[in-house]
Structure 1
């Protein structure tokens, strides 16, 4: 990578991480600190926790498409300002309704796909996968950090202080994008990085992708619902003060991260993603059942949370990889957009439905929801076909029209390891789906229509 790429990736990954950190820091403390809000009930607290997911789900794809027309940076600034405004509104509110409005406004800054599009504008093709992996890593680190930083910050400055800190992170993000991230010379449509309207029908009719979309929705439904009950159990049943919850989350997340790494390696290297996925879903369901039924002592709760977050981290790492492999050529960006929409919608449903169940049926009802949803997902995972192991590969072309689109398409399909080809004539680009065990990129050099 050159200096410009390194600078762009570091800044955009930081913006993404700070935004996710702000969204998730309230999760482990909201049910404990939100009890003092005027009008608070378990159902309304649940809606407040998941409310950001509704606006995120509705605006995720439109924001990405609008950035093509109005510019990447302009949409990012707009999204971060909306996010900061929502954080300030939630922080200043003394009632649950004001916090719900603030959380909805927070989610209105749905700039994830715009950040990815800008990242694609500023990186070369050979470095783009690595750049996106760095951003993905930053998101994982931000989520893990939020679970112990939230209780620490909540003990110092309370719920309002967490929201104000979140607004501060958004303003830092604006400064980073303005002063550190270069402005690209021109906007390009990167179909592997951003959604496209003409690809939506193709993605939404793909049953293999829809199973994965249901999976990420179910995963974040369960995560959000878990934080409706786990913090209260730790305080009221286990007897751990809210100010001490941070060390439980820190120790659990740290060990769970290292525990799941071998399974990622097995799934990718040995092409056993389906058994790994099904095993992780089963483990998550068993962990939820154990958290509900086993005695609520520190040892049992810690063990249940360890297996919960081990399975969660494993699934959070596996699912984007599977989406990338299963998405049609030239539709990865759209597939990821639908995937993200499903993720945030799942968080909203988990908060809203979980809160309603907590109010009317108690803790048992919330855990029952989690287990039932996971069992449905497990059934879908067990009956799905073995996942593809193809990856996306983009090729720049020259003189396509002169040589004939059909001839170029046939020549590329004859290359060993190439499973699918989509040629964009106006962009002089071909999107391939390739199996790297058979595909050698150097084999394309023999074609005169491939740009050196």
Structure 2
């Protein structure tokens, strides 16, 4: 009896269900990604204030460099480590990267001044393993269930950010800035344990070794559109969070220690509402349509935010809408990268993708800060909305390959 679900002539598709191995790999890799992202996010909500406790921490320029150094060095290393993961394996590259991440955290914990913290942050950024983790998920799952696996990773970003808002002030208040860096280093050890002991091995595709070339990725129109998309998504996220906390504090009366009471339910509710959309995208194979609708929704929500600048509850509702679109796109886009990238340079393609993401984080935070410093928060929302609209125009031309077939179709 044939095991092929289409061989009987009934033409009934196989059920879209994760196998036990796929489920375990997806859960463990999501936990790995979430732990690493929590280590990144923990510093963001509190560092500008906590840095005053170390020599040189009153130099705003150096504090900014210390906070951003991780993202810049990560952007430079995503592509080389993505290529290395294609050649030497995902697990080996992730272990190497997390060792660097942990070493950098320990350097920061032992730092005597802001300059040593900058050095430690640079070392942390050298452990750029996002591409290798994402490629490992793609290796471990079938294309028809991959978006569901990627959704776990996408959701981990929002959940990790929410957790950082709760934990960061508590850790600094109890143990100081050095204690926060020790906690970040401990998360590095957690990631090492997960990568070494808990993630099952994924079968490698037996293909002749093909030298991956960056120009192959740069000439691929579909990958370029996806890279631009993730740059926009994280530019928008960081620009938004340069102004949203101040608005929530002013309109709702929340101080920095209690903003988590707003963020946590917003992110969790949006994640719950995102799940049916991801399931519908998978079962109906409408990945391109889902991409366009989510980006259009993002643009509309951002365009409405200036109108919500004087009403707390309207702003909260729009933030829920923002994170629904954000979580869908965070899950959908890496899945599309893994679909359109040839297997021999999947890691390289995801390296470019994660480089674009890191650059978007840096650019969004920088430009959002410059504009918000002028006192008009609506300009930040309108800039983000305009960028989302440009992204929507590019997403309409997305195809999976030279045949013009839609991704996932």
Q: What is the TM-score of this pair, normalised by structure 1?
A: 0.70
- Of 58, 64, 70, the residue aligned with 1:39 is 58
- Of 299, 310, 323, the residue aligned with 2:337 is 323
Q: Is 1:163 aligned to 2:172, yes or no?
A: no
- Of 122, 146, 151, the residue aligned with 1:104 is 122
Q: 1:29 to 1:309 in 2, by over 3 A?
A: farther
Matches within 5 A, 1:73-222: 74-91=92-109, 99-115=117-133, 136-158=150-172, 160=177, 161-180=179-198, 197-222=211-236
1:24–1:143 CA contact under 8 A, matched in 2: no
Q: What CA deviation, in whole Å up to 9, does each residue of 1:117-141 have, x standing for no partner? A: 66788x6xxx566996676344234
1:72–1:115 CA contact under 8 A, matched in 2: yes
Once residues 286 and 136 of structure 1 are traced to their aligned partners in structure 2, the CA distance between those partners, rounded to angstroms, is 25
- Matched residue of 1:351: which SS? helix
1:46–1:354 CA contact under 8 A, matched in 2: no
Matches within 5 A, 1:241-256: 241-256=255-270
1:72–1:117 CA contact under 8 A, matched in 2: yes
1:253–1:306 CA contact under 8 A, matched in 2: yes
Q: Is 1:261 aligned to 2:295, yes or no?
A: no
- Of 286, 304, 312, the residue aligned with 1:298 is 312
2:82–2:350 CA contact under 8 A, matched in 1: no
Once residues 204 and 284 of structure 2 are traced to their aligned partners in structure 1, the CA distance between those partners, rounded to angstroms, is 36
* Aligned residues: CA RMSD: 4.0
Shift of 1:58: 1.3
Once residues 164 and 360 of structure 1 are traced to their aligned partners in structure 2, the CA distance between those partners, rounded to angstroms, is 36
- Of 286, 294, 299, the residue aligned with 1:280 is 294
- Matched residue of 2:212: which SS? helix
Counterpart residue number, 1:413:
none
Once residues 30 and 390 of structure 2 are traced to their aligned partners in structure 1, the CA distance between those partners, rounded to angstroms, is 34
- Of 388, 391, 396, the residue aligned with 1:374 is 388
Counterpart residue number, 1:56:
74
Moved more, 60-69 or 14-23: 60-69
Once residues 144 and 293 of structure 1 are traced to their aligned partners in structure 2, the CA distance between those partners, rounded to angstroms, is 25
1:217–1:343 CA contact under 8 A, matched in 2: yes
Unaligned 5+ runs, structure 2? 1-17
1:47–1:355 CA contact under 8 A, matched in 2: no
Unaligned 5+ runs, structure 1? 391-418, 421-432, 438-452
1:116–1:132 CA contact under 8 A, matched in 2: no
Once residues 85 and 282 of structure 2 are traced to their aligned partners in structure 1, the CA distance between those partners, rounded to angstroms, is 34
Shift of 1:71: 6.5
- Matched residue of 1:240: which SS? coil
Once residues 226 and 272 of structure 1 are traced to their aligned partners in structure 2, the CA distance between those partners, rounded to angstroms, is 29
2:35–2:160 CA contact under 8 A, matched in 1: no
Matches within 5 A, 1:433-448: none
Give the greater-gyration-radius structure (CA). 1
Q: 1:178 to 1:369 in 2, by over 3 A?
A: same
- Matched residue of 1:340: which SS? helix
| Number of residue equivalences | 385
